[in-house]
């Protein structure tokens, strides 16, 4: 198979992932209500990805655990095994990913039950402005400037220490980073780049910090592991998830929490703590995946 054929196949799988993901995101948002369980909506969306893949003859799988982040949480909120938490009158971010043979799509939507519609709109309109700006030769800092300008116009702050990102093969975060504010550093986009643009808007100060909760992990390196449960967990991680993020609740081994702790101590896996603004503040998010084209971009997750 030629390089051209391989490229065509790669982009087709990005598109397949994006089409499935767009439907799952919209359906998940419609199903999210006050009283919906974190675990319920997460498992529904992850299973729906596989179901739509089977219907379309595409080997679709979640690219990472469904993120359910509420209110001041910006990212990496996720359901724990047996999680009994339910959604209240909160600002809910659903961040969902699909992979087809390791080629990815990533999207997010805010479902709001707080009445802060303008904060939600700020992230949505910032994303639209960013997409309008995308094209070959466009500097990533220019895209960040567009995002910042829109969010500032609503009277809110962009979250400056979170960025959009490239999507690689079995790699959820690659170059280039797409900032959510104007910066001088960065690169120019090129035809064929696959990136996720994800503005975050907040009524807080605009910087997130790591919280205590951690339910999402990813492989850092393979290593010899003596403990049986940790070894079983590592075998599953390498075989099923490779280098993509996974949830503790996805592990089949007994005592998964202990197994993960041992793997972290050895530097075999790393965790993704919940990223959050100050308590009492709110964060909204909107995200699409796109392919940079000669005349702009093709959004795969519309």
pLDDT digits (tens, 9 = 90+) for 129-167: 999 999 999 999 999 999 999 999 999 999 999 999 999
Neighbour order of strands in the sheet with 209-219: 73-75, 269-276, 209-219, 246-247
pLDDT surpasses 50 at 1: no
pLDDT of residue 254: 85
pLDDT surpasses 50 at 28: yes
Instruction: Kindly tell me the burial class for residue 79, based on how many C-beta atoms sit within 10 Å of its own C-beta (0-12, 13-18, 19 or more).
Output: buried
Neighbour order of strands in the sheet with 296-299: 171-178, 164-168, 194-197, 288-293, 296-299
Instruction: Tell whether residue 270 is among the known ligand binding residues.
Output: no
CA-CA distance, 42 to 30, in Å (whole number)?
13
Give the residue numbers annotated as catalytic, written as ranges: 95, 106, 165, 173, 198, 287
0.85 exceeded by pTM: yes
pLDDT digits (tens, 9 = 90+) for 212-264: 999 999 999 999 999 999 999 999 999 999 999 999 999 999 899 999 999 99
Instruction: List, in order of start, the domains of the chain with CATH numbers.
Output: 3-208+277-299 (3.90.230.10), 211-275 (1.10.10.10)
Instruction: Tell whether residue 95 is among the known ligand binding residues.
Output: yes
CA-CA distance, 47 to 53, in Å (whole number)?
10
Alpha-carbon 241 to chain mean position: 15
- Residue 246's Cβ-side half-sphere holds a number of Cα atoms within 13 Å equal to 24
**DSSP-derived 3-state class of residue 59:** coil
pLDDT of residue 144: 98
Look-up of token digits 């359901």: 79
Instruction: Tell whether residue 198 is among the known ligand binding residues.
Output: yes
Of 63-67, 80-84, 252-256, the least confident: 252-256
Average model confidence (pLDDT) for the chain? 97
- Among residues 132, 180, 129, 133, the alpha carbon closest in space to that of 156 is found at 180
Instruction: Tell whether residue 139 is among the known ligand binding residues.
Output: no
């Amino acid at each position: 198979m030629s390089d051209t054929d391989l490229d065509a196949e790669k982009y087709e799988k990005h598109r397949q992932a994006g089409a499935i993901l767009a439907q799952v995101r919209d359906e998940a948002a419609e199903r999210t209500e006050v009283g919906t369980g974190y675990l319920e909506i997460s498992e529904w969306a992850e299973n729906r990805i596989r179901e739509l893949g089977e219907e379309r003859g595409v080997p679709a799988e979640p690219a990472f655990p469904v993120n359910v982040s509420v209110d001041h949480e910006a990212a990496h909120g996720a359901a724990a095994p047996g999680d009994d938490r339910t959604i209240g009158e909160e600002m809910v971010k659903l961040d969902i990913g699909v992979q087809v043979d390791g080629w990815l799509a990533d999207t997010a939507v805010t479902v709001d039950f707080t009445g802060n519609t303008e904060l939600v709109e700020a992230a949505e309109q910032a994303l639209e402005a960013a997409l309008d700006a995308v094209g070959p030769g466009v500097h990533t800092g220019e895209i960040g400037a567009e995002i910042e300008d829109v969010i500032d116009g609503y009277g809110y702050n962009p979250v400056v220490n979170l960025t959009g990102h490239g999507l690689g093969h079995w790699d959820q975060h690659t170059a280039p980073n797409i900032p959510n504010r104007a910066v001088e550093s960065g690169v120019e986009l090129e035809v064929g780049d696959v990136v996720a643009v994800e503005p975050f808007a907040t009524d807080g100060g605009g910087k997130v910090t790591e919280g205590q909760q951690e339910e999402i992990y990813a492989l850092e390196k393979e290593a010899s592991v003596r403990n049986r449960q940790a070894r079983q967990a590592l075998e599953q991680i390498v075989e099923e998830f490779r280098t993509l993020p996974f949830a503790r609740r996805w592990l089949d081994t007994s005592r998964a929490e202990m197994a993960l702790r041992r793997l972290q101590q050895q530097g075999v896996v790393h965790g993704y703590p919940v990223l959050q603004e100050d308590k009492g503040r709110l964060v909204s998010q909107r995200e699409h995946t796109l392919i940079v084209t000669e005349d702009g971009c093709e959004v795969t997750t519309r």
